[in-house]
A and B are shown apart, each in its own frame.
Chain A
Amino acid sequence: MRRTIFALLVTFVFLVSPILIVDGHAKFPNRPVTLVLPVGAGGSHDLHARGITGIMSDIIGQPMIVKLLPGGAGMRGHAFVANAKPDGYTILFTANGFDQLVPQTRKVPFNSLKDFTAIAKLNHAQPLFVSLSNRPWKTLKQFVAYAKKNPGKINFGHSGVWGAIHTPAMQFVKAAGIKVNFIPHKGGGPALRALLSGQDHISMAMPTSGRAHVRSGKMIALGVTGNKRMSKDKDFKNVPTAAELGYKGVSFKMERIFMAHAKTPPERLKVLRDAFETILKNKSFKKFMRSIGEKVQFVKGTDYNKVRKERYDGFTQLIKAMTGK
């Protein structure tokens, strides 16, 4: 008798379990979550993602899988998430430029502001203006004076049109009223290489990638974007901001953000947002971020959503000013 009851019970569980899985009210997530990156392997986003997804799996109880969809200036990955089922199982790890700027410069099959909502902002990087230390200028002011005397002769290397170097560089060129020769490179690495080889006169670098070269004395940091100095950074705390030097509007920072489809059910969105708050307290997460030399400057998704529209409009102005469109 007992065995029969047991058998019945087992059968029942087997019959019901698929229903439980299909049931939308079952605990979210009950299968792996895909984290889409609109960039290729090996960059800083990829590195962050590899460390975070490993820890995140313990928090949400399901694996989080990295999916790299590079190309089309990030828009391929964004379009993929915009077209995916808005069930919270496909989320995006991207940068503010791809979210608020690039979609305005080309035809894309989604509306950034309407189709996406923020889960969390993890951190940001302030690009630094850098030059070789043997150039005739030692400060940003001197550079501007030199550039004014030699219009169009300065090679300004960047990592790609409307990327994390080109955008603040455009803001700077506009604010300083100078004319430079912009040279595109395939990413931040090649741009840094062109600067170090003396091919480009000036460029910008993120603190993590520029640090060793500034420490070795080969490169100098002339200024930093944003209106706050990097006061906690022992190598760059004395680097003046562009705003201090009188170049207004050179504000671009590269922000690493997690986004979801705007139509994701609110209770699932909450699970995801909570997970990213929980991870902040995780020991392995803290250790990982320390070892890769990145800070955590967390902003809640709901708070980040509030600034997106304003930023978006700011970029609209910049694009209009620089391209006349």
Chain B
Amino acid sequence: MLETFIQGMHLLLRWDIYFFIAAGLCIGMFVGAMPGLTTILALSVLLPVSFKLEPVLGIPFLVGLFKGGIYGGSIPAILVGIPGTAASIATTFEGPALTRKGHGRKALEMALFSSVSGDLISDIFTILLIGPIAIITLMIGPPEIFAIIFFSLVLIASISGDSGLKGAIAALIGLGLGFIGTDAATGSTRMTFGFMSLSAGIPLIPLVIGIFALPEILLAVESRAPRFVSQFIGYSNTGEKLRWKEFKSSIKTILRSTGIGTGIGMVPGVGQVVAAFVGYSAAKRASTHPETFGEGELDGIAAPEAANNAVNGPTMVPLLTLGIPGDTATAILLGAFVAHGMRPGPLIFQEQGPLLYAILMSMVIANILFVFLGYVLLKPFAIAIQIKKSYLIPIILALAFVGTLSTGDNSDLIIMLVVGFFAYILRKLNFDLAPLIIAFVLAEPVEYTLSQTMLYAKGSILQYIFVTRPISSAFLLSALIWILYRAMRSFSRKRT
């Protein structure tokens, strides 16, 4: 193995690889920063470009694009509270608050450094342990996925306890929206009211834009906010640089989130959005001052950013060892591999070992390059946003419309407007919309894996899970014990 690895490293001794990775990172960062334009879209549009390049250039180019995109999404999330991609939704919890306090620059830098750290650690972990990870991913079937999602939900819910009944209502709305579309288990359409465009379910991007971008501007217009009209959120007054001391105090959070992200990355079909939420929740739980979360806490930036990037390493494992992509981004990468005549699968290490290691190492290189590139690029990005908020938000909104249209279906625009209108009403009624999003994202996998589990169980579900699926039962039991513990504690608190 070491020999193949060294051969692979030899392939990396040329300057144009670094150029293409850097190009990918820049494009990705730009696309990610535009709400509505997704990394997936950029990946699939630029896939043919990679066909024309050598594999050792083309695939790292796409890898860079993907990594840049995830970070790019957090730029508008931090500066204006509008997530550029779904993976950066959890970053909006602390980002705008920090920007308001004049710590926008600190937040952007914290996001960059924690993203890169999370990604780097998880990539190295993946390269070293690709075999064991492959075995673990195969052990995780529908009952395990269901249990892990359930466990994550309990964790996420436990930190949004103060939103109480309204949070629960928002989560139920999200769940309901998530059930619209095609019932994946039976293939029949449901709750579409006869609209063909709803038969695929509500698309995530228009929903996210509708929920985050539209109410933002409606609320501002309505209050005729004088502050809003004149407020600059330029780089010059986004404050000082991140200090080493501040980063150091978040290292623990970054490592925790990296662990969470890497773990979630091994679970097929859960992904970055959930990892970011779980990472944030865990950081708030572990914090000695959870009450400052939500008011601009740098730890609350580090947590989701490290977690969503740490997902990337392990998601490559089923792609490389089985030839089975875990999500859309890796599916597009599979296309790039295949078009270069490489068929990922159990034999790829024998057949294409050096090239494969070169590509894996290019993921590590992409991270190291990104530390410098991202640091330099933050400035132009922030300067581009250095205009009056009253101009900026409409521009972002216009871009969001264009981005939504880029998915190809005009009805997505209508979905976005309808969602935005209702989200505005909910915001006026002081609803917290984060539970809505997380419930929406998880509605389908929860239902799907549960129905698969029931089919496997053939009628005796408890026996099936608790006798034959130890991983699943461990997660379910810990979730239940946690709920009981919390319930008893709040009960005893009420009595005293």
Contact = CB atoms under 8 A, between A and B. Distances in A.
Which residue, of A42, A160, A199, A216, has the highest number of chain B Cβ atoms within 10 A? A42
A193 B156 CA distance: 29
A184 B409 CA distance: 28
Interface stretch (A75-83, A112-120, A314-322): A75-83
Range of interface residues on A (Cβ < 8 Å): 35 or more
Interface in A111-133: none
B346 A186 contact: no
A60 B187 CA distance: 37
A69 B141 contact: no
A227 interface: no
Interface string B317-351: 01000111100101110110011110111111000
B325 A67 contact: no
Contacts of A182: 455
Contacts of B339: 47, 50-51, 288, 291-292
B324 A42 contact: no
Given A72-B196, A193-B318, A155 B268 contact: no
A249 to B, nearest CB: 22
B325 A42 contact: yes
Contacts of A192: 322, 324
Interface stretch (B43-51, B68-76, B270-278, B354-362): B43-51
B51 A199 contact: no
A91 to B, nearest CB: 14
A69 B51 contact: no
B139 A197 contact: yes
A174 interface: no
- Looking at A66, A71, A182, A183, the one whose CB has the most chain B CB atoms below 10 A away is A71
Given A42-B328, A184-B184, A212-B323, A54 B343 contact: no
B166 to A, nearest CB: 31
Interface in A169-215: 181-186, 189-190, 192-194, 196-197, 199, 208-209, 211-213, 215
A208 B343 contact: yes
B328 A40 contact: yes
B200 interface: yes
Given A40-B328, A199-B456, A293-B343, A190 B268 contact: yes
B197 interface: yes
B495 interface: no
A79 B335 CA distance: 27
Contacts of A288: 51, 339
B346 A212 contact: yes
A183 B452 contact: yes
Contact of A193 (B47, B48, B322, B330): B322
Nearest to B41: A41
B398 interface: no
B408 A67 contact: yes
A215 B408 CA distance: 40
A218 B348 CA distance: 14
B456 A293 contact: no
B40 interface: yes
B492 interface: no
A199 B188 CA distance: 25
Given A50-B48, A66-B44, A192-B324, A197 B138 contact: yes
A193 B346 CA distance: 12
Contacts of B199: 71-72, 75-76
Given A106-B188, A212-B345, A293-B343, A197 B324 contact: no
Given A193-B268, A193-B318, A76 B338 contact: no
Contacts of B269: 186, 190
Nearest to B187: A161
A32 interface: no
Nearest to B38: A41
Interface residues of B, number: 53
Interface string B175-191: 00000011011111100
B182 A73 contact: yes
Candidate in A76, A79, A197, A291 with the most chain B CB atoms within 10 angstroms: A76
A54 B184 contact: no
B182 A47 contact: no
A71 B268 contact: no
Nearest to A53: B48
A70 interface: yes
A43 interface: yes
B149 to A, nearest CB: 14
B493 interface: no
A197 B141 contact: yes
B448 interface: yes
A153 B347 CA distance: 32
A183 B332 contact: no
Nearest to B458: A181
A46 interface: yes
A75 B201 CA distance: 12
A182 B452 CA distance: 10
Given A190-B269, A199-B456, A75 B408 contact: no
Interface string A23-59: 0000000000000000011110011001101100000
A275 interface: no
Interface in B286-338: 318, 322-325, 328, 330-332, 334-335, 338
Given A46-B44, A190-B268, A213-B345, A162 B187 contact: yes
Nearest to B52: A54
A73 B318 CA distance: 25
A67 B407 CA distance: 8
A42 B196 contact: no
B341 A80 contact: no
A51 B51 contact: yes
Nearest to B334: A42
B214 to A, nearest CB: 23
A169 B230 CA distance: 65
A41 B48 contact: no
20 contacts: A40-B331, A47-B339, A71-B199, A72-B181, A72-B182, A72-B199, A79-B196, A161-B186, A181-B458, A182-B455, A183-B452, A183-B456, A184-B187, A190-B324, A193-B324, A194-B142, A212-B345, A213-B346, A216-B347, A293-B343
Interface of B: 40, 43-44, 47-48, 51, 138-139, 141-142, 181-182, 184-189, 196-197, 199-201, 268-269, 318, 322-325, 328, 330-332, 334-335, 338-341, 343-348, 408-409, 448, 452, 455-456, 458
Given A183-B456, A199-B141, A208-B338, 13 more contacts: A71-B181, A72-B181, A72-B182, A76-B196, A76-B199, A80-B409, A108-B196, A160-B184, A186-B448, A197-B141, A213-B322, A216-B346, A292-B338
5 closest Cβ pairs, A-B complex: A71-B200, A42-B331, A212-B345, A72-B199, A161-B187
